Amino acid sequence: MSEKIAVIGAGSWGTTLADLLAKKGNAVTLWAYEPELVLEMQEKRENSLFLPGIRLSDNLAFTNDLAEAYAGCTMVLCVVPSQLVRRVMTNSLPFLPKDVIIVSASKGIEVDTLATVSEIYQEILPPEIYANFAALSGPSFAREVAQEMPTAVAAAAASEQVARRVQDAFTTSFFRVYRNEDVIGVELGGAIKNVIAIAAGISDGLGFGCNTRAALITRGLAEMTRLGVAMGAQAATFAGLAGMGDLVLTCTGDLSRNRSVGIQIGQGRQLAEILGEMRMVAEGVKTTESAYNLSKKLGVEMPIIEKMYQMLYQDKPAREAVLELMSRNLKAEGA
């Protein structure tokens, strides 16, 4: 069945998914915060700010008005940065139909509350709407999906019926969606991998090699899994698309914004200067602070996250942080 879908957030990922859904035959309205961006997309069928060079479907509508975006929708896809989810969705509440499916593709942990994205939705949505919540995550650079390169992701929902509905809505000949029931695991994988990607970028920027990157990916996965299990997630989830899959992509791919931030830090640039030049959000910067504080709150050992916090927020030199990681007390791999 075709859906009437409101896509909230016109960054590269929101625009890409809106275009995918529209080309599939759904009635899709893409909401953008910037009125000038809405006008450009209407006139030129292109998002030159966040997805330049990609022509957008003639079936895709654009608006700066939340009420217009939500009118008559059967499904909502929210793709705003994780630190803005609470504000945007609170403003959306008056316009949400009671039986709407809510799909989140935001990846992060709220800094002020340490809430995951699903926990934010659970706090602000009426129970009957939150029952239809799903999280979409996995290894998926927006530009590659926009260019219709084969991609696989996971849709997690407590309700299998909701997961199937999301799976049916998003799956195309090049975009394959797998169902999952572990919402917290899928969204934590999508959040924590961004922090490890900054670490991998720092390693690359320092001139370290493939050995170092492989160690960061593997031990980063161990930390991600420990935190997830402590929060009730299933360990197996982190071996899948939303865990290992997304982690490998973001730590190695040249299109990774988080890895790019890390490379520049490793090369000696200051974080504030790097972020000041970026139009798109590198979620891993804020998630580093959230994940560090969450690990302390739950008593979960996350040494890579701890060193990343010290580098980004306490100005610890990168080489010193690496030396401290390598000099920790010896232990068994599974400990």
* 138: alpha, beta or left? (left if phi > 0; alpha if psi -120 to 50): left
183-205 and 257-266 helices cross at what angle (nearest 10)?
A: 30
Q: Which amino acid is at 334?
A: G
**Sign of the torsion formed by the C-alpha atoms of 12, 14, 15 and 17:** positive
| Complete edge-to-edge strand list for the sheet that includes strand 4-8 | 60-63, 27-31, 4-8, 75-78, 101-104, 133-137, 151-157, 175-180
Cβ(168)–Cβ(182) below 8 Å: no
CA pair distance 292, 301, nearest whole angstrom: 10
CA pair distance 305, 286, nearest whole angstrom: 12
Catalytic residue among 24, 107, 193, 286: 193
CA pair distance 14, 12, nearest whole angstrom: 6
Q: Let me know if 193 is a catalytic residue.
A: yes
Q: What are the catalytic residues?
A: 193
